[in-house]
């Protein structure tokens, strides 16, 4: 039977595709954002946020501090890349959210599995009119041009049948018709481009609607979907070594270290209730990508967590940025 031998998770913030000298461009977006999400489900402008907390994180956004944090995160990504390579996978399932890249308002499934022969990326950032930093971000997401990576159609269809039999009603997609109009985006391209030493490793995208109400699944439902995913993989014929990786998160655009640490604590199998009980208000906007981790945790909690690094990455004095995390679930001892 197939078997999950590796679980993993990675943040995919644009800051991880850019040098720290270009993080100011993301910070500028925060300064003019009138709807920064707070973990109680309310929204606040940067001006009002700063009026509440002041410049509490000013010492963490100096050029020197940002450069050091960038180096730390890149080293974590290098280690994660090595861990994935060492697992000698036959296929990697990428759990990510779509942000109007493949799907749109005309069709936004709660959860979809891609069962195509090729994973084809959307060239959203190919226009030469974009500034250099945006084009670099697009390249990091494999969205600088149309890229074609191998899928795993047969195995994906076996997973679909298994999950349907377990009460998980999936949407299924198997083709990207016009990648100049729509295709796979940042959550999937980042993992393939940055973390796979062997780009020929087949991947299966699992797309979770975290961003767009009203049909965003609850944390408890995401955890249950993860459990059904593992059961379906283990029921599939063939002797495949399977990896499952969460792409995205943790808290953003206002960094909430307490929320992030609750999520991390919930990765312990005996504390899964912490994940299942995450309130809707804490999972708005970018923080909704935590659901990708919740689903993955449900799929891989039969494996011990071998390694995790967490860094609250601030980019403005008032505390906007991303709670970045990098993790591996696998048998064996930490290096």
pLDDT in tens, 97-151: 999 999 999 999 999 999 999 999 999 999 999 999 999 999 999 999 999 999 9
Q: Does 48 fall in a domain?
A: yes
> 332 lies in a domain?
no
* pTM score of the predicted model: 0.97
Give the count of domains, the chain: 1
Residue with tokens 């946020």: 49
142 domain-assigned: yes
Residue 319 tokens, joined: 């505390």
**pLDDT, tens digit (0-9, with 9 covering 90-100), for 195-239:** 999 989 999 999 999 999 999 999 999 999 999 999 999 999 989
CATH at residue 300: 3.40.830.10
Measured between alpha carbons, how far is 134 from 154 in angstroms, rounded to an integer? 36
**Dist. CA 7–CA 297, nearest whole Å:** 8
Q: What percent of the chain has pLDDT over 90?
A: 97
Q: Counting every residue, how long is the chain?
A: 335
- pLDDT tens column, 71-110: 999 999 999 999 999 999 999 999 999 999 999 999 999 9
Residue 331 lies in a domain: no
16 is a domain residue: yes
Name, in order, each residue with C-beta under 8 angstroms of 129's C-beta and a sequence gap of 6 or more: none
**Is there a domain that residue 333 lies in?**
no
> Is residue 335 situated within a structural domain?
no
pLDDT band at 335 (very low <50, low <70, confident <90, very high): very low
Helix (H, G, I), strand (E, B) or coil at 219: helix
- What's the rounded Cα separation, in Å, for the pair 160 and 169? 9
- Cβ atoms 218, 291 nearer than 8 A: no
* Domain enclosing residue 302, as ranges: 3-326
**C-alpha to C-alpha distance for 95 and 204, rounded to whole angstroms:** 9
Residue 285 within any structural domain of the chain? yes
């Amino acid at each position: 039977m197939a078997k999950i031998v590796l679980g993993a998770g990675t943040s995919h913030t644009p800051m991880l595709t850019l040098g720290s000298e270009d993080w100011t461009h993301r910070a500028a977006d925060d300064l003019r954002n009138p709807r920064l999400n707070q973990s109680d489900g309310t929204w606040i402008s940067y001006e009002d946020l700063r009026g509440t907390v002041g410049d509490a994180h000013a010492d963490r956004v100096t050029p020197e501090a940002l450069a050091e944090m960038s180096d730390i995160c890149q080293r974590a990504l290098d280690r994660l890349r090595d861990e994935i390579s060492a697992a000698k996978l036959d296929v990697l399932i990428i759990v990510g959210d779509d942000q109007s890249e493949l799907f749109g308002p005309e069709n936004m499934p709660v959860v979809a599995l891609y069962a195509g022969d090729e994973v084809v990326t959307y060239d959203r950032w190919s226009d030469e009119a974009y500034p250099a930093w945006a084009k670099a971000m697009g390249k990091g997401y494999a969205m600088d041009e149309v890229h074609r990576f191998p899928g795993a159609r047969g195995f994906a269809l076996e997973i679909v049948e298994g999950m349907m039999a377990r009460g998980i009603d999936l949407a299924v997609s198997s083709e990207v018709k016009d990648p100049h109009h729509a295709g796979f985006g940042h959550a999937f391209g980042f993992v393939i481009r940055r973390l796979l030493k062997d780009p020929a490793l087949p991947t299966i995208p699992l797309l979770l609607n975290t961003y767009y109400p009203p049909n965003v699944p609850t944390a408890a439902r995401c955890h249950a979907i993860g459990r059904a995913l593992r059961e379906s993989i283990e029921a599939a014929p063939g002797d495949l070594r399977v990896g499952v990786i969460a792409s995205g998160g943790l808290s953003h655009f206002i960094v909430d270290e307490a929320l992030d640490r609750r999520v991390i604590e919930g990765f312990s199998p005996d504390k899964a209730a912490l994940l299942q009980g995450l309130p809707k208000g804490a999972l708005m906007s970018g923080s909704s990508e935590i659901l990708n981790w919740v689903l993955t945790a449900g799929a891989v909690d039969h494996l011990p967590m071998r390694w995790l690094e967490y860094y609250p990455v601030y980019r403005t004095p008032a505390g906007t940025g991303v709670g970045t995390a990098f993790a591996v679930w696998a048998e064996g001892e930490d290096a």
